[in-house]
C-alpha cells in the first residue's frame, strides 16, 4: 500500500483532507497554509486519537473560526492564526515550551504552497540555538514554583482525607515537575501524558515527588536560579 493509499484508508487523515478541501473552497483567498500536528503528524495515531488541524491565515479575523467538536466520531481541534502571529510565537519561549515545541517542529502540511510551516520550524530552531541556558533555567523555576505549591496543597488535602482533590493537585505537580526537567534538558514532549511518562513521574507518589522537587531546587540553585530568595529577587 502506498503512502497516499494508507492516508486515505486512515479515517483521521481522510477527515483532515475533507476539512482542508472545505476550507479552501470557502476561504481560498484568506488561507496561507493548513497542516496537522500531534499524533497524526507523527504517523502513530490510533482510533482514540484527536485530529489537530491548524489553519494559517494572511490576516486576523479571517478564515474559519477555531472549533473543538466531534465530526464522524473523531474529536477535531481546529485552531486558526495569522502567519505573522505564528512566526512570532515560534520565536518566543514560555514556561510551557516542553508542551508547545512539538507543534512548531513536527507539522505535516495539507496545503502549504509557500513553505510556511518550514519557515516556522526554522524560526523556532533559530530561537533555540541563540537562547542561553539561563533563560531555560528561569522558565524552569516558574514551573518548579507551580509544582511545589501544588505538591504542598496535595499533601495538606491528603492529611484532611480530601483524596480526590489531592490527586488532582498531585497530577498538576507531576506535570510541572516534568516541565522543569524538560526545560533544564531542552527536551520537549508530545503531550502531558508523554511528559510525565518520559520523566518517570507518572507513578510518583507524594514522597517521591517531594524528593524530585528538592533535587530540582538544588539543581536550579546551582544554575544561578534559586527557587527562594530575598524580597528584591522578585523584581529581577
Span 95-137, pLDDT tens digits: 999 999 999 999 999 999 999 999 999 999 999 999 999 999 9
Same domain, 139 and 121: no
CA 183 centroid distance within chain: 12
Q: What is the CATH number of the domain that holds 108?
A: 3.30.460.10
Return phi, psi of residue 69, to 5°.
-165, 165
In sequence order, the β-bridge partners of residue 33 are 56
Nearest CA to 194 among 211, 174, 215? Answer: 174
d(CA 214, CA 87): 37
Residue at a domain's end among 130, 153, 173: 130
Query: Residue 1: pLDDT above 50?
Result: no
pLDDT score recorded for residue 232: 85
Same domain, 200 and 180: yes
Residue at a domain's end among 82, 108, 130: 130
Same domain, 13 and 106: yes
Residue at a domain's end among 109, 130, 151: 130
58-85 b/e (C-beta count within 10 Å ≥ 16 → b):
eeeeebbeeeeeeeeebebebebbbbee
d(CA 199, CA 82): 34
pLDDT score recorded for residue 62: 94
Nearest CA to 80 among 123, 122, 19? Answer: 19
Same domain, 7 and 110: yes
| Strand ranges, E, within 38-162 | 51-57, 67-71, 74-82, 107-111
Same domain, 48 and 110: yes
In sequence order, the β-bridge partners of residue 76 are 51, 69
Same domain, 25 and 126: yes
Same domain, 116 and 138: no
Domains held by the chain: number: 2
- pTM (2 decimals)? 0.92
Same domain, 108 and 191: no
pLDDT band at 35 (very low <50, low <70, confident <90, very high): very high
Same domain, 139 and 179: yes
Nearest CA to 109 among 98, 126, 121? Answer: 121
Same domain, 97 and 11: yes
Same domain, 106 and 142: no
Geometric angle at alpha carbon 73, from 71 and 79, rounded to 5°: 40
176 close to 143: Cβ distance less than 8 angstroms: yes
Residue 43 belongs to what domain range?
A: 3-130
Amino acid at each position: 500500500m502506498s503512502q497516499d493509499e494508507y492516508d486515505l484508508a486512515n479515517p483521521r487523515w481522510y477527515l483532515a483532507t475533507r476539512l482542508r478541501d472545505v476550507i479552501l473552497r470557502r476561504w481560498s483567498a484568506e488561507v496561507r497554509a493548513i497542516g496537522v500536528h500531534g499524533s497524526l503528524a507523527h504517523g502513530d495515531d490510533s482510533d482514540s486519537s484527536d485530529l489537530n488541524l491548524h489553519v494559517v491565515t494572511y490576516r486576523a479575523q479571517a478564515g474559519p473560526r477555531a472549533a473543538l467538536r466531534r465530526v464522524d466520531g473523531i474529536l477535531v481541534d481546529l485552531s486558526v492564526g495569522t502567519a505573522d502571529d505564528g512566526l512570532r510565537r515560534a520565536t518566543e519561549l514560555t514556561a510551557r515550551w516542553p508542551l508547545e515545541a512539538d507543534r512548531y517542529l513536527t507539522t505535516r502540511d495539507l496545503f502549504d504552497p509557500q513553505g510556511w510551516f518550514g519557515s516556522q520550524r526554522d524560526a523556532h530552531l533559530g530561537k533555540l540555538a541563540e537562547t542561553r541556558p539561563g533563560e531555560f533555567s528561569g522558565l524552569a523555576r516558574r514551573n518548579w514554583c507551580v509544582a511545589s505549591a501544588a505538591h504542598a496543597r496535595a499533601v495538606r488535602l491528603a492529611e484532611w482525607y480530601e483524596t480526590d482533590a489531592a490527586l488532582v493537585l498531585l497530577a498538576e505537580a507531576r506535570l510541572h515537575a516534568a516541565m522543569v526537567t524538560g526545560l533544564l534538558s531542552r527536551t520537549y514532549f508530545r503531550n502531558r501524558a508523554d511528559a510525565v511518562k518520559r520523566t518517570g513521574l507518572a507513578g510518583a507518589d507524594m514522597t517521591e515527588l517531594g524528593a524530585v522537587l528538592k533535587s530540582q531546587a538544588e539543581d536550579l540553585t546551582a544554575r544561578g536560579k534559586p527557587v527562594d530568595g530575598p524580597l528584591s529577587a522578585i523584581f529581577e
